[in-house]
Amino acid sequence: MQLIVTKNYSELSRKAGEIVCSFICGNPNGVLGLPTGSTPIGMYKYLVDAYKNNKVSFENITTVNLDEYLGLSKYNKHSYNYFMWENLFGKVNIAPKNTHVPRGSVIFCQRECHRYNKILDRNKINLQVLGIGENGHLGFNEPNTPFDSRTHVVSLSQSTLQANSRFFENKNAMPRYAITMGIADILKAETVLLLACGKNKAQAVKDMITGNCCEQVPASALQLHKNVIVVADEDASSLLS
């Protein structure tokens, strides 16, 4: 794994934005795997600015998102689909038909997982951007998810419910289940770019890079991948010697 340590969040966002921009410029028909959450917001701002300044075009880019809460429609402001339109899709020249996010409002979840796997099979991810959970999750692949998993339904762990409750005014309204791409889907990407920011991610970053490669720490699966770039701020990398 290549580790890039940045001073702070704004430097992390700029570095991540530069990496994604240079990927898009070199692969104008490429496929990007995308995360939501607080960490990538600055990177999305960088990409929107780059688009507005004619430095990058999303015209022929395809995106596949990692995950979505089950039970939320795409119009719900807490849904990850809504997040993507607010932070990126609605602000750049991407074709809506080229954006893919799991559908959270489906009744037949297994059918949705199957549909999403087919999308992933048709669109090989060139660059997968990731955040990391405090418990080491990737997407919503919680601890003990098999490394050979594909898109599946997850029951969110207590740690994730606790961490993500900050986005919901009413904690009881927070979904308990989600659909996520699997670890195997993430590992198939040509290049992985993982972003980590803040002291609360330091243990997960340490376990990911220097811990045992095991299913209790989903992010440690990245040790099996040949082309991983980690961009972490000083706080998130503070436990690495």
Question: CA–CA separation, 126 vs 76, rounded Å?
Answer: 29
Q: Which of 81, 112, 137, 185 is catalytic?
A: 137
Please report the DSSP string for 112-132 in residue order.
Answer: HHHHHHHHHHHS--SEEEE--
In the residue annotation, 135 being an active-site residue is answered as yes
Cα–Cα separations (whole angstroms), residue 95 to 46, 92, 128, 238: 19, 9, 19, 40
The 10 Å Cβ neighbour count of residue 206 is 18
Determine if 37 is a binding residue for ligand F6R (CB under 6 A).
yes
Least distance to ligand F6R, CB of residue 131, Å: 2
H or E stretch including 6? strand 2-6
Determine if 162 is a binding residue for ligand F6R (CB under 6 A).
no
Least distance to ligand F6R, CB of residue 164, Å: 7
Determine if 36 is a binding residue for ligand F6R (CB under 6 A).
yes
Question: CA–CA separation, 109 vs 234, rounded Å?
Answer: 40
- Tell me which of 8, 10, 38, 227 binds ligand F6R, using CB under 6 A: 38
Query: What backbone torsions phi and psi does residue 192 show, to the nearest 5 degrees?
Result: -120, 135
Please, are residues 216 and 143 in contact by the beta-carbon 8 Å criterion? yes
In the residue annotation, 233 being an active-site residue is answered as no
- Tell me which of 17, 30, 35, 42 binds ligand F6R, using CB under 6 A: 35
Determine if 67 is a binding residue for ligand F6R (CB under 6 A).
yes
Q: Binding string to ligand F6R for residues 111 to 150, with x set by CB under 6 A, is what?
A: --------------------xxx---xxx-----------
In the residue annotation, 142 being an active-site residue is answered as yes
Please, are residues 193 and 126 in contact by the beta-carbon 8 Å criterion? no
Least distance to ligand F6R, CB of residue 53, Å: 26
Identify which of residues 30 and 218 has a Cβ nearer to ligand F6R in the complex.
218
Least distance to ligand F6R, CB of residue 138, Å: 6
Contact stretch for ligand F6R (CB under 6 A) within 37-45, 103-111, 117-125, 204-212: 37-45
Identify which of residues 36 and 151 has a Cβ nearer to ligand F6R in the complex.
36
Task: Please name the residue that has the structure tokens 């436990």.
Answer: 239
Identify which of residues 55 and 188 has a Cβ nearer to ligand F6R in the complex.
188
Please report the DSSP string for 71-111 in residue order.
Answer: T--TTSTTSHHHHHHHHTGGGS---GGGEE---TT-S-HHH
Site residues (vs ligand F6R, CB under 6 A): 35-39, 66-67, 80, 131-133, 137-139
Q: Which residues are catalytic?
A: 67, 135, 137, 142
